[in-house]
Each structure stands twice: as C-alpha cells, then as structure tokens.
A and B are shown apart, each in its own frame.
Chain A
Amino acid sequence: MRAATQKAAFVRWSVGQIVLTVVVLGYLSIVLLLPIGALAVQTVRGGSEVLRSLTEPEVIQSLLRSLLVAVAVTLLNTIFGLVGALVIVRQRFWGRRILDALVDIPLAVSPVMTGFAFLLVYGRGGLLTPVVEWFGWKVTFAMPGVLLATLFVTVPLSLRELGHVLAQLGMYEEEAAATLGASAWTTFWRITLPNVRHGLLFGVTMTAARALGEFGAVLVVGGAISGKTQTATTLIYASLEERRPVTAFGMAIVLCGLSAIVLLAMNLIQRRSVVPE
C-alpha cells in the first residue's frame, strides 16, 4: 500500500531533482564506469596478443589455482557460516560474544596484515608451526597458506548474511515441527535449510567473488612463486611489475568477466528473494 502512494507521489521533476540525478549518475559513471571502459578499450586494442597470453601455461595454471581455492573456500566457509550462524543466533553459551566479535574482525583487517599474520603463525617460531611440522605440511609460501588466508578473509561473509536471515526468521517453524515430532535433522533439512535458501546463495556468491579477488593476503603468504603459488590476482601484479601489461590486462578482463557473472547472480538472487512467497 505504501509503495503505491510512494510511486504516485512522484509526478513532476523539479529542477533540483534533475540536477541531483545528473550529478549522481555522472558521479557513478565517472567513478565506476569510466575505469571499466578504459580497461575494456585497452584489452580490445591488445586484441590477439591478449588472447595469446591467456593460453600460456603459467597463466592457465594461475587461474586454475584461483578457481580451486575459491571453490574450496566457498564450500568450507558456507558450511561453517551456516553452522556458525545457527550457533551464534540461536544458542547461548560462554564465549558467544567473543565468537561474534572475532567473526567480524576479518572485514576490518588489511589483507597484507592477514598474509603477514599467517607468515608469523606458521613460519619460523610461529604458534602453530610445531603442529604443522608434525603433520609434515608446508603452509607458508605454499598453497595451504593461500587457502588458509583466503578462508580467514571470507569467514564473515556467509556467516553474517545467514545470521541476519536467521535472526529475522525466528524459531517459529522449527518449534512447530518439533511439537509435531520431527527429528532435529528432519527439521534442519526440510525447514531451516529451505528458509535460508536465498541468504545461503547470496553468501555463496559473495564468498566466491571475494575468494577469487583476494590479492594482498595471498601475495604475502604465498609469495606469488610462479609455478607454485601464483594465483590469478598475483599474476596480474607480477605481470605489471615485469612490464608485461598484456598478460595483466588479459587476466584482469577474465576476472572482470567472472565478477560480472557473480554480480548477475547476486542481482538475480536479490530480485527473487523480494518476491513474496
């Protein structure tokens, strides 16, 4: 009802509104669209060279590493995000507030610092180094470190999103199911999960996008060792440093394309979640 009156109230454009709209759209175009356009133009100019650089084995390897990490991280942190959100929102236990605060921290921490912290923890004399060495794993300057750092950075994304959704939903339906004799697993599978569907998808897309795009942390922990820890983003950086802009642009456009797909997915999910059920 309110929406109808809102739309109806907007009848004529005043000068002020036109100016504001022009300013805002202009601002968006300059800050966001122009840079993208510049990159697109540069890549088109590069043309076949760009395509050729994308078929180099090192480039493909880096992209594969990024994708692998992104998939693993998305899987892990979506599961943990769901579990964590359920635990934080619905249960009371000692340390709940600490957990809640800890989860928020990766959002505010600089990626370089994240990478550095992991170097400290798993490097020489680190807190967890004995554990890692006992297993015979190599963490710093190796892919496990890259994985862990990306995990760190994406923890809050799914968790917070699911937390909001769960908080809004309340335990209504689950409690009703319990009174009707449903087991915990049945309740979870048939009621909780479908209800958080959209939040889950949203969290997945955000986590995936972030994992693909992670740069600073990966650069520091992995060291961008070509052939071993070079990911898509560190490849762009390395290519720029080595004055091979063509490779950089190529990979940048690829990542852009992947991000556009993620963006589309986010948009579609958002639109569908607004439809009343």
Chain B
Amino acid sequence: MLAYVVLLIGAPLISVVQHALSLGFASFGASITAPVALQALLLTVRCAIEISLINALMGTAVAWVLARYRIPGKGFFSAVVELPFALPTLVAGVMLSTLFGPHSFLGKAAAASGVPVIFAKPGIILALLFVTLPLVVRSVEPVILGLDRAEEEAAFTLGASRILIFFWVTLRSLAPAITYGSIQCFARAIAEFGAVVVISGNIPYRTLTAPVFILGEVESGKTESAAAVSLMLLILAVLLSYLTRAVQRRLSTATG
C-alpha cells in the first residue's frame, strides 16, 4: 500500500521539487518573480480569495435554504448543486463560453455595459464559482441539518429576533464548517485549469492564471520556469492541506 502511494504520488511530486531547484535557489527565485509568472500567481491568488469569500456567503445561504426551508423542487436544486462535481471542468468552461461568448446575447450585452465577461476577469470568477459551488454547501449543509434547535428556540423565547439568532447563535456552530469549506474552495480555485483556460483567453498580465501559465511554459519547453511556479502552487497546496486537517479536527470535536 505504501509502495503504491509513494510511487504514484510521491515520485512525481519529488520530481517537481527537484526540478524546480535544480538550478539553485537563485534561479528559482528569479523564475517566480519574472513579471508574467508573478502576475499569474497574484491573479490566481486574488481570484481564489474572492471566490472563497463569495462562496462562504452564498454557499452558507444555499445550504441554509436547502436544509431548512420547504420548497417545491428542493430535490432538483439539491442535485443541481452537486452538478459541478460530476461535470468535467472543461465542459463547464465551454458552457460559460457559449453563454457569454462574443456572438452571444449576454456576451454582447456585457461588453456594451462595460463589464466584459469572456476573456476577462469576471469570466474567471464565474468559472471558478461554478466549479467550487458545491464545496461550501456540502460542508455546511450536514451541520445545519444536525444542529440542535434547542439553543435557537431558547434565544427565541428570550425575545431575540430571527436575524439576531442566526448571527449570534447559529453562526457560531456553523463557523468551523464554513471555514473548512472555504479553505477547500481556495485550494480548488488556485488549481483550477479546465474551466478557466477556455473562458479567460489567457492574456498575460490580465487573465493568465498560474495553472495556464505552467501549461504555456511546459509547451514551450521552459521546464524550470514551469517547475518553479508549480512548486509555489505545491507549497500553497501543502499549507492548505495542513490547514484543512487542523480545521477538520476542530470540526469533529465541535460536532462530536
């Protein structure tokens, strides 16, 4: 078992690290601070942060409505929320491109109103939103379903308004799950390739994200640069993985 995992997962990762540092730390540093590379990394991180915040808010809202309210078609919407997990990310990108493409109704409307979607940052945001939507919802919904209403009901009998109850009582219990989901969103967003590559147009300095940058470098044979940026993403991924486990531990003690 150990052999399988080490060979399959460990070997490739080690190769990336080794290759990135093969020309020394100075070269590594130069690679990641090269203007295009740096901008790509910054754009990726910036988008990921925005996505995580939006998802923390909307994901919780979606989970709340799906868990607590009785709506016709709830099963349908529940299934729809799971959709991004079953769909290839590239297909998601293609869908968004047809929706907001230069020849489409929405695309032309967007361009006219000064907020272009395709080949621009809003397109990246939408693509990432599509792909990461289930993450927070999936994390928060079970917690909402398992909440002990006694606390909320006690607050209600003491005269608190519903909104107050939500923010002061319920949210405290939901916070670990929301955080966990958001971190997963962030990790997913920095790595996303398929959905982004089609809709963003991959314009350096403006819509070129780190994963797409890596692809470009690999295709032009600049493997050291690709390895360097890959290593940066890998470091981020490992940090996030560590963070996820820490939050997960808190989550299981909170609900346990």
Binding site for B on A (CB under 8 A): 2, 5-7, 9-10, 14, 16-17, 20-21, 23-25, 27-28, 31-36, 38-39, 41-42, 80, 83-84, 87, 95, 99, 101-121, 126-128, 148, 151-152, 155, 206, 209, 212-216, 219-220, 233, 236-237, 240, 248-249, 252, 255-256, 259-260, 262-264, 266-267
B154 at the interface (CB under 8 A from A): no
Contact A112 B62 (CB under 8 A): no
Count B interface residues, CB 8 Å: 85
Stretch in B29-37, B85-93, B108-116, B173-181 with 4+ CB within 8 Å of A: B85-93
Residue of B nearest to A126 (CB): B15
Contact A215 B79 (CB under 8 A): no
With A21-B71, A28-B80, A267-B82 as contacts: A236 and B162 at CB distance below 8 Å: no
With A209-B86, A236-B90 as contacts: A6 and B241 at CB distance below 8 Å: no
B188-234 residues with Cβ-Cβ distance < 8 A to A are: 188, 190-194, 197-198, 210-212, 214-215, 218, 223, 226-227, 230, 233-234
Contact B233 A103 (CB under 8 A): no
Contact A220 B99 (CB under 8 A): no
How many angstroms between the C-alpha atoms of A248 and B149 in the bound complex? 50
B197 to chain A, nearest CB (A): 8
How many angstroms between the C-alpha atoms of A255 and B163 in the bound complex? 43
Contact B5 A99 (CB under 8 A): yes
Contact B191 A111 (CB under 8 A): yes
- Contact with A120, one of B81, B227, B233, B241 (Cβ below 8 angstroms): B227
Contact B211 A32 (CB under 8 A): no
B43 at the interface (CB under 8 A from A): no
Name the prevailing secondary structure of the B interface residues: helix
Residues on B with beta carbons closer than 8 Å to the beta carbon of A266 = 82, 86
A47 to chain B, nearest CB (A): 15
Q: A113-B16, A152-B9, A213-B194 are in contact. List 10 more A-B contacts (CB 8 A).
A: A6-B149, A32-B81, A38-B98, A39-B98, A110-B191, A110-B193, A112-B214, A128-B11, A236-B91, A263-B83
Contact B13 A117 (CB under 8 A): yes
- Contact with A21, one of B69, B153, B198, B238 (Cβ below 8 angstroms): B69
Residues on A with beta carbons closer than 8 Å to the beta carbon of B211 = 110-113, 216
With A28-B81, A87-B1, A259-B87 as contacts: A108 and B12 at CB distance below 8 Å: no
Name the prevailing secondary structure of the A interface residues: helix
B52-78 residues with Cβ-Cβ distance < 8 A to A are: 58, 61-62, 64-66, 68-71, 77-78
Contact B95 A215 (CB under 8 A): no
With A120-B12, A215-B90 as contacts: A109 and B237 at CB distance below 8 Å: yes
- Contact with A23, one of B19, B61, B85 (Cβ below 8 angstroms): B61
B75 to chain A, nearest CB (A): 8
How many angstroms between the C-alpha atoms of A168 and B34 in the bound complex? 49
- Contact with B5, one of A103, A111, A209, A220 (Cβ below 8 angstroms): A103
How many angstroms between the C-alpha atoms of A204 and B171 in the bound complex? 34
Residues on A with beta carbons closer than 8 Å to the beta carbon of B15 = 117, 120-121, 126-127
The 4 A-B pairs with the shortest beta carbon distances in the complex, nearest first, are A213-B88, A117-B12, A110-B191, A35-B95
Contact A206 B96 (CB under 8 A): no
Contact B8 A148 (CB under 8 A): yes
How many angstroms between the C-alpha atoms of A237 and B87 in the bound complex? 15
Residue of A nearest to B87 (CB): A259
